[in-house]
């Protein structure tokens, strides 16, 4: 679904944007104060992505008359097969701009249109913007969000009957879930990630990306790796959760299909929800689901969260069609499912740099 933002008069004044380092103290002040900031607004996330794929991260910011950052958005310059683009942010489900008030957000939106025009580079913001001339908004998928403030045990009663049944089955299966305390857990998760991506027929992200997430986010306390293991100690499912500012986000999930009858995914998600609630987080996000994946949407809805359309905003010519080339995708999927893991990893290393 695509909607062109209607024209709403002249753009706000003072729309020239400042380009700041992603760890600029004035930007970090806004991140700390904005109620809708998440782990994706932290310099740590931008550095994990940029360091893996060779992007140049920054923050484009609108300053008020006192010089304070009143609105801003983290960005990275990427090179795609269709050309260069500025994205907030690659490999990120949602990274809407942060602003102190509606006027500052409108000024930032207008300033980004001007930046795109001056630099001849399209801009993609992974979030909604106010109606501003030059922007087009696209519904890129659905996100499910669970309010944790009632407490984990109260939430369990709101799960679908199917989820509650499968969760009881998982708890009786002998599986246990451990919250990772060493890099070994991330290594075990990557093995499951490789199995999952190959089964799905999509390229595998590089191991160095997960090493960077562990180093920049998990170790400093902005995330966790949870693994479900059999009594023999074999990892059969896992999730990577990123946390900041009261919001926990499932960024990656992976599992071994040969153990699905034990329902390890249910035990992982339930443990992640309890862990986030016990840590005082008030919001649990299940990540983006593409609109065409109705089954996955139903699975996420079974946890009792609310679904909302996930809107991305674009300005400037040359933005790629997010639908992609379905025939090419199908052919690539066929190759991946029938290739050894080494080939799957090589394809990911080659393609993901241009797919952010």
DSSP 103: H
6 and 136 part of one domain: yes
308 inside domain: no
pLDDT tens for each residue of 52-109: 988 999 999 999 999 999 999 999 999 877 788 999 999 999 999 999 999 999 999 9
* 4 pLDDT higher than 70: no
Q: Check whether residue 175 and residue 85 sit in a common domain.
A: no
On whether residue 62 sits in a domain, the answer given is yes
* pLDDT tens, position by position, 9-66: 444 444 689 999 999 999 999 999 999 999 999 999 999 999 998 899 999 999 999 9
One domain for residues 154 and 259 = yes
What does the pLDDT read at residue 8? 41
How many whole angstroms separate alpha carbon 75 and alpha carbon 55?
A: 10
Phi, psi of 153 (to 5 degrees): -65, -35
Q: What pairing do the DSSP bridges indicate for beta strands 223-229 and 235-244?
A: antiparallel
Q: How confident is the model at residue 331 (pLDDT cuts 50, 70, 90)?
A: very low
Letter string b/e over residues 114-150, b meaning 16 or more CB atoms within 10 A of that residue's CB = ebbeeeebbbbbbbbbbbbbbbebbebbbbbbbebee
- 261, 281, 301: which is the final residue of a domain? 281
Does residue 226 contact residue 179 with C-beta atoms inside 8 Å? yes
Q: Decide: 31 and 92 in contact? Cβ < 8 Å.
A: no
For residue 42, give its domain range: 2-142+313-323
Q: Is the dihedral of CA 95, 96, 101, 103 positive or negative?
A: positive
Q: What's the pLDDT at 352?
A: 55
- Is 307 part of any domain? no
**Predicted local distance difference test score (pLDDT) of residue 351:** 57
**Is residue 193 over pLDDT 90?**
yes
Other beta carbons within 10 angstroms of residue 93's beta carbon come to: 21
Contact 228, 188 (CB under 8 A): no
Instruction: Check residue 347 and give its pLDDT.
Output: 56
Predicted TM-score (pTM) of the model is: 0.88
Q: What is the pLDDT of residues 116-174, one digit of tens each?
A: 999 999 999 999 999 999 999 999 999 999 999 998 889 999 999 999 999 999 999 99
Given this model, what pLDDT does residue 10 score? 42
Number of domains in the chain: 2
60 part of a folded domain: yes
Instruction: Please answer whether residues 71 and 254 qualify as being in contact, where contact means their C-beta atoms are separated by less than 8 angstroms.
Output: no
DSSP helix/strand/coil, 284: strand
Whether residue 293 lies inside any domain: the answer is no
Distance (Å, whole) CA 130 – CA 206: 36
253/223 Cα distance (integer angstroms): 14
CATH code, 158: 3.40.630.30
Q: How confident is the model at residue 297 (pLDDT cuts 50, 70, 90)?
A: very high
């Amino acid at each position: 679904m695509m909607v062109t933002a209607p024209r709403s008069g002249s753009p706000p004044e003072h729309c020239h944007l400042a380009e700041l380092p992603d760890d600029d103290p004035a930007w970090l002040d806004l991140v700390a104060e904005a109620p809708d900031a998440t782990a994706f607004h932290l310099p740590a996330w931008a550095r994990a992505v940029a360091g893996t794929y060779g992007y140049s991260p920054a923050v484009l910011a609108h300053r008020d008359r006192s010089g304070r950052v009143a609105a801003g958005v983290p960005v990275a310059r990427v090179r795609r097969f269709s050309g260069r683009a500025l994205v907030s942010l690659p490999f990120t489900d949602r990274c809407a701009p942060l602003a102190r008030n509606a006027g500052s957000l409108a000024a930032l939106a207008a300033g980004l249109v001007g930046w795109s025009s001056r630099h001849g580079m399209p801009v993609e913001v992974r979030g909604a913007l106010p109606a501003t001339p030059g922007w087009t908004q696209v519904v890129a998928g659905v996100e499910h969000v669970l309010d944790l403030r009632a407490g984990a045990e109260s939430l369990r009663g709101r799960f679908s009957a199917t989820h509650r049944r499968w969760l009881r089955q998982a708890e009786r299966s002998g599986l246990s879930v451990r919250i990772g305390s060493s890099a070994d857990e991330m290594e075990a998760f990557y093995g499951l990630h490789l199995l999952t991506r190959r089964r799905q027929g999509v390229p595998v992200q590089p191991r160095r990306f997960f090493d960077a997430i562990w180093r920049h986010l998990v170790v400093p306390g902005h995330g966790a790796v949870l693994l479900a293991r059999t009594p023999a100690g074999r990892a059969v499912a896992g999730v990577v959760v990123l946390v900041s500012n009261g919001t926990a986000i499932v960024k990656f999930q992976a599992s071994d299909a040969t153990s699905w009858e034990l329902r390890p995914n249910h035990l992982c998600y339930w443990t992640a929800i309890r862990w986030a609630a016990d840590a005082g987080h008030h919001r649990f996000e299940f990540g983006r689901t593409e609109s065409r994946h109705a089954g996955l949407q139903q699975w996420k809805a079974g946890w009792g969260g609310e679904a909302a359309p996930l809107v991305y905003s674009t300005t400037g010519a040359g933005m790629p069609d997010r639908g992609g080339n379905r025939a090419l995708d199908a052919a690539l999927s066929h190759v991946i499912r029938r290739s050894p893991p080494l080939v799957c990893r090589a394809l990911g290393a080659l393609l993901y740099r241009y797919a952010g």
